[in-house]
């Protein structure tokens, strides 16, 4: 049984809106070009979905808008697709590995009934600290990241109020939480979850690099909006964080690459076992 190439399906959830996320994801997958090939599927714009049997690894991107609202077509197909991946992994020896990012993560949490999805009091945007949970301390996905680590956050919605019984029944674990905010009473949002042995997800953008963030700042209106939201001092601090090798660079170089390495190793080992 051939090991190469391992095929990655990128599920584009951006609905045609300009973004830096796709570029970053393609760049990260491209670092494994000796073993991975990829294809992009326009889920929201064209209701495009891959044949599950044809792909080994799935990365479902972030995207705009309310994660609780679809058009009644692509979103239902998306949930059916997630269920089909779960069913495949229950029945087949060679497993499908999935990573959900931001918008996709919110939808997955909703679909599995793990938590509530609510609108934030205000937009979360910028370089944020993310804290590991106890389970996150031993999570391979986060291996190589400090506690706390830093990530680019961009969202109007949040995953909160976890149903711990559903988590337990599904074997899911919360592996990171939103930054600690002693000055406000709001609940800390769930920032990353291991759904099962093969599905993981993050509320933030682990694919983001400094280039992607700076691209947003080239728009004067966006730049001024961030300054007004954060204040000039926090805005300057945010720019400094972008240049720190141990912050956004570290997360970009660690989290999705960890996911891909874990998936690649599992696929290769399983195929070797089955071929003997």
Asked, for residue 130, whether it belongs to a domain, the answer is yes
First to last CA, the chain: 10
Specify the pairing of strand 57-60 against strand 116-132: unpaired
CB of 198 closer than 8 Å to CB of 89: yes
- Rounded to an integer, what distance in angstroms lies between the CA atom of residue 160 and that of residue 158? 6
Q: What is the pLDDT of residues 180-209, one digit of tens each?
A: 655 555 678 999 999 999 999 999 999 999
Would 1 be classed as within a structural domain?
no
**What are the structure tokens assigned to 31, written together?**
């670092």
Residue 220's pLDDT is what?
Answer: 72
> Which residues sit opposite 132 in a β-bridge?
176
Residue 89 domain flag: yes
CA dist., res. 185 & res. 168, Å (int)? 27
Query: Dihedral (C-alpha) 221, 223, 224, 228: value to the nearest 10 degrees?
Result: 130
Range of the domain at 144: 6-275
pLDDT tens by residue, 7-51:
999 999 999 988 889 999 999 999 998 999 999 999 999 999 999
Q: What is the mean pLDDT of the chain?
A: 90
Of the pLDDT bands very low, low, confident and very high (cuts 50, 70, 90), residue 238 is confident
Asked, for residue 162, whether it belongs to a domain, the answer is yes
With cut-offs at 50, 70 and 90, classify the pLDDT of residue 155. confident
- Read off the pLDDT of residues 50-63 as tens digits, 9 standing for 90 and up: 999 999 999 999 99
Report yes or no on 104 lying in a domain. Answer: yes
Q: 212 in a domain, yes or no?
A: yes
| Tokens encoding 84 | 């089909």
pLDDT for the residue 135: 96
128 lies in a domain? Answer: yes
Rounded-to-integer distance, Cα 11 and Cα 105, Å: 12
**Predicted confidence band at 2 (pLDDT cuts at 50, 70, 90)?**
very low
Residues 79, 83, 85: CA angle, nearest 5 degrees: 115
**pLDDT above 60: residue 129:** yes
User: How far, CA to CA in Å, does 36 sit from each of 9, 145, 250, 256?
Assistant: 10, 24, 22, 14
Q: Into how many domains does the chain fold?
A: 1
Express each pLDDT in 251-271 by its tens digit. Answer: 999 999 999 999 999 999 998
Q: Is pLDDT at 212 greater than 60 in this prediction?
A: yes
| Residue 235 confidence class, pLDDT cut points 50, 70, 90 | confident
The Cα–Cα gap between 66 and 51 comes to 27
CATH code, domain with 37: 3.40.50.880
Which tokens in the block code for residue 86? 């779960």
Q: Is residue 33 in a domain?
A: yes
């Amino acid at each position: 049984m051939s090991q190469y190439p391992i095929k990655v399906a990128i599920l584009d959830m951006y609905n045609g809106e300009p973004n830096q996320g796709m570029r970053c994801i393609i760049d990260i997958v491209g670092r494994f070009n000796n073993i991975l090939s990829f294809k992009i599927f326009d889920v929201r714009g064209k209701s495009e979905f891959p044949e599950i049997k044809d792909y080994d690894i799935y990365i479902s991107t972030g995207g705009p808008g309310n994660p609780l609202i679809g058009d009644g077509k692509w979103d239902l197909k998306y949930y059916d697709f997630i269920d089909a991946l779960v069913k495949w992994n229950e029945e087949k020896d060679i497993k499908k590995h999935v990573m959900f990012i931001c918008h996709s993560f919110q939808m997955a949490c909703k679909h599995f009934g793990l938590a509530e999805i609510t609108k934030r009091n205000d937009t979360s945007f910028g370089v944020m600290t993310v804290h590991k949970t106890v389970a996150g301390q031993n999570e391979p996905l986060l291996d190589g990241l400090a506690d706390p680590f830093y990530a680019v956050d961009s969202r109007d919605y949040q995953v909160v109020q976890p149903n711990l019984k559903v988590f337990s029944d599904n074997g899911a674990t919360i592996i990171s939480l939103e930054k600690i905010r002693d000055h406000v009473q709001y609940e800390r949002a769930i920032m990353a979850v291991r759904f099962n042995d093969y599905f993981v997800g993050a509320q933030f953008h682990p694919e983001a690099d400094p280039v992607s963030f700076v691209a947003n700042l080239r728009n004067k209106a966006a730049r001024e909006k961030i300054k007004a939201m954060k204040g000039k001092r926090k805005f300057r601090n945010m720019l400094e964080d972008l240049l720190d090798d141990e912050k956004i660079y570290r997360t970009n170089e660690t989290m999705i690459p960890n996911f891909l390495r874990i998936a690649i190793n599992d696929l290769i080992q399983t195929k070797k076992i089955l071929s003997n």
